[in-house]
Every structure is written in structure tokens, then in C-alpha cells.
């Protein structure tokens, strides 16, 4: 859960998000080194009156400052491509959920069950109970089992939406007439919040996403109760 004055990412709740955090730190360290080197060169060039003829005209230094940036780009590109393929990998999901975007709410359908689906609306501010978050709580949460691969099929009924949960490392566009898919594994129990991340009209800010990860036995109990109520 994000908090005021937070500068970094939310705590990772999935293996993919952990990889993204590590890659962010890796890339940021390279950026800091480059900024430090360039700043030092600028200060040295401005503050000294001496001129080095080997810097003004040197084939060796031109080779270095051509090859070195290429090596740095490779050091950034290789882990980036690895994570990109990891995010697209969907192997034998234990559960498939279809998330449909509407103006302005989400509906979820558990396709492995015969009749398990519901709409998820934001809880108005005046109806919130103490401890609930404004603009983030919903009347029905998307409940998933922890430590299980979950596939989410994302589409929309009217306009473009985007199903995004930052702490799970998931963001997928919901396009009318098109079925996109993404996957995640919740590595710990908890409640994870997200919001529609594609401007979709007047109430774009008021269609939150709440994913609740629970142990498998609790998920089975929840699904049995939902089926009985249906």
C-alpha cells in the first residue's frame, strides 16, 4: 500500500515485481555513476585553465567513449529483456479470472467455476468504515489463492480501461473487442490495491481494483459461499 511522501515503489507482493524492483535499482545505480562522471568532467573543464592535447585529439579516448556506452546499454538491455519475457510467461495457471472494464466499475468472472462472478463498485466515501481507504475500497474484492499462478483475461465493454495492481507488477490494457491476458503469483497473503490506469471518462478515478490473496483453504471456503449465494 502506498503512503504519503513515498518516493519508491510499493512493496513487492509477487516474484515479477521483485524482479522489477531489482532491475530498477540496477538501472538507477548505472544512471548515478553516469551522472557523477559527467558532472565531474563538467566541473573539471570549467574550473581549470589547463588544456590537455591528448583529450582534444585522441583516437584512444574516442574508442573508449564509443564502446563504453554500448557496453552500458547491453548491461541494461539484457536484464530488461529477461524480465519482459518473464512477464509474458504463463505456465499452467491454477485459476483463470476474466476482468471486464465498464464505465465505471469492474466485473469479475471465475471461468473455472460454473456460475461465479460479480461486479465490483467503489464504496462511496460516506459509506466507508474506519480503516478503509477512500477511492480504493470496493464492495466486492477479487479473491485469489496465494502462491498459485493466476491468469487474468482482461477486456472492456465500452471504452479503453487498464487493469493495474502495482504491488503485483501487473498492468494490462482492457480493449473493447479484444481479450488480453496477464498472470501473477501472490507470494504472500494480503490486500493489494490498484486503479484503472487508462483515462476512460468522467469517473475514471472512481473504479478501483482490490485483490485479496488468501491461503488456498480460505479461498475454497470463500468460493463455496459465493456459489451458495448465487
Is pLDDT above 70 for 230?
no
Same domain assignment for residues 80 and 107: no
Write down which residue in 64, 88, 112 finishes a domain.
88
Q: Is residue 198 part of a domain?
A: yes
**110-135: b or e for each residue (b if 16 or more CB lie within 10 Å)?**
beeeeebbbebbbbeeeeeeeeeeee
* Structural domain boundaries enclosing 78: 15-88
Predicted pLDDT at 7 = 87
Q: Is residue 42 part of a domain?
A: yes
Write down which residue in 47, 66, 88 finishes a domain.
88
Split at pLDDT 50, 70, 90, the class of 218 is very high
Mean residue pLDDT across the chain:
92
**158-194: b or e for each residue (b if 16 or more CB lie within 10 Å)?**
ebebbbbbbbbbbbbbbbeeeebebbbbbbeeebbbb
Q: What is the CATH number of the domain that holds 71?
A: 1.10.287.90
Same domain assignment for residues 175 and 218: yes
d(CA 73, CA 76): 5
Same domain assignment for residues 47 and 136: no
Is pLDDT above 70 for 17?
yes
Q: Is residue 6 part of a domain?
A: no
Write down which residue in 68, 88, 108 finishes a domain.
88
Express each pLDDT in 149-191 by its tens digit: 999 999 999 999 999 999 999 999 999 999 999 999 999 999 9
Split at pLDDT 50, 70, 90, the class of 143 is very high
Same domain assignment for residues 30 and 69: yes
Amino acid at each position: 500500500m502506498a503512503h504519503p511522501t513515498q518516493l519508491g515503489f510499493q512493496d513487492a507482493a509477487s516474484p515479477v515485481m521483485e524482479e522489477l524492483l531489482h532491475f530498477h535499482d540496477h538501472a538507477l545505480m548505472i544512471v548515478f555513476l553516469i551522472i557523477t562522471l559527467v558532472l565531474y568532467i563538467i566541473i573539471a573543464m570549467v574550473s581549470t585553465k589547463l588544456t590537455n592535447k591528448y583529450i582534444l585529439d585522441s583516437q584512444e579516448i574516442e574508442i573508449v567513449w564509443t564502446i563504453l556506452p554500448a557496453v552500458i546499454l547491453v548491461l541494461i538491455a539484457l536484464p530488461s529483456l529477461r524480465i519482459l519475457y518473464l512477464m509474458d510467461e504463463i505456465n499452467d495457471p491454477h485459476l483463470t479470472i476474466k476482468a471486464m472494464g465498464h464505465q465505471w466499475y469492474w466485473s469479475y468472472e471465475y471461468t473455472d467455476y460454473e456460475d461465479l462472478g460479480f461486479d465490483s463498485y467503489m464504496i462511496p466515501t460516506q459509506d466507508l468504515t474506519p480503516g478503509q481507504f477512500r477511492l480504493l475500497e470496493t464492495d466486492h474484492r477479487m479473491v485469489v489463492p496465494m502462491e498459485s499462478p493466476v491468469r487474468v483475461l482482461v477486456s472492456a465493454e465500452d471504452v479503453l480501461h487498464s487493469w493495474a495492481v502495482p504491488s503485483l507488477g501487473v498492468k494490462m490494457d482492457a480493449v473493447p473487442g479484444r481479450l488480453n491476458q496477464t498472470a501473477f503469483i501472490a507470494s504472500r497473503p494480503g490486500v493489494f490495491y490498484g486503479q484503472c490506469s487508462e483515462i476512460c471518462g468522467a469517473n475514471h478515478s472512481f473504479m478501483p481494483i482490490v485483490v485479496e490473496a488468501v491461503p488456498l483453504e480460505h479461498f475454497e471456503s470463500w468460493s463455496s459461499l459465493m456459489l451458495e449465494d448465487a
